[in-house]
Amino acid sequence: MKSNEKKNLTLKLTPLENAVIHTKTEKSYLELMKVYEVGGWSFMLGGLPTEKNYWKRFKEKTCITTKVEYGFSPRNYYQESGSEILSPNEFYKKQRITPNKIKVINRYYKNKYKNDRKSKT
């Protein structure tokens, strides 16, 4: 990795009140977890976002909270509670994360773990 890529690998994420991110695909979930990890966020029960793949529990119904210590539940739970449901791209836009920044993050993880870290289940 080029030194300027590592330098650019910082994010200041802002928690969003009453909003969740609907990750319809495992790919979008894994990418979001990389963004959360770079932003310094962690799972509410501890651990780095990329350590476990919680998408497999609810699959295409998975929604992730937008908090420093995030959690997850199925989409219908958040619909019933009146949460704003965002796509990953809507979240990135609100956080001012550009597509290029996402590419840098993905490249970093690909290089760091050679074949992208396989999440534990």
The per-residue pLDDT for range 62-89, each reduced to its tens digit, is: 999 999 999 999 999 999 999 999 999 9
- pTM of the predicted model as reported, rounded to 2 decimal places: 0.87
d(CA 16, CA 46): 20
**Per-residue pLDDT, 8:** 58
Find all residues with CB under 8 Å of 37, minimum gap 6, and list them: 48, 49, 50
Instruction: List, for residues 31-55, the tens digit of each pLDDT value.
Output: 999 999 999 999 999 999 999 999 9
Average pLDDT of the chain to the nearest whole number: 90
The answer, yes or no, to whether residue 6 has pLDDT greater than 90, is: no
Q: What are residue 15's phi and psi, to 5 degrees? A: -60, 140
Instruction: Indicate the angle between helix axes 99-113 and 26-38, nearest 10 degrees.
Output: 90
Helix locations, the chain, DSSP H:
3-7, 26-38, 55-58, 75-80, 88-94, 99-113
Q: What's the average model confidence in pLDDT over 7-30?
A: 93
Find all residues with CB under 8 Å of 96, minimum gap 6, and list them: none
Tell me the one-letter amino acid at 6: K
DSSP single-letter state for residue 115:
S
Give the start-to-end residue ranges of the domains of the chain: 3-10+17-107
Tell me the one-letter amino acid at 52: K
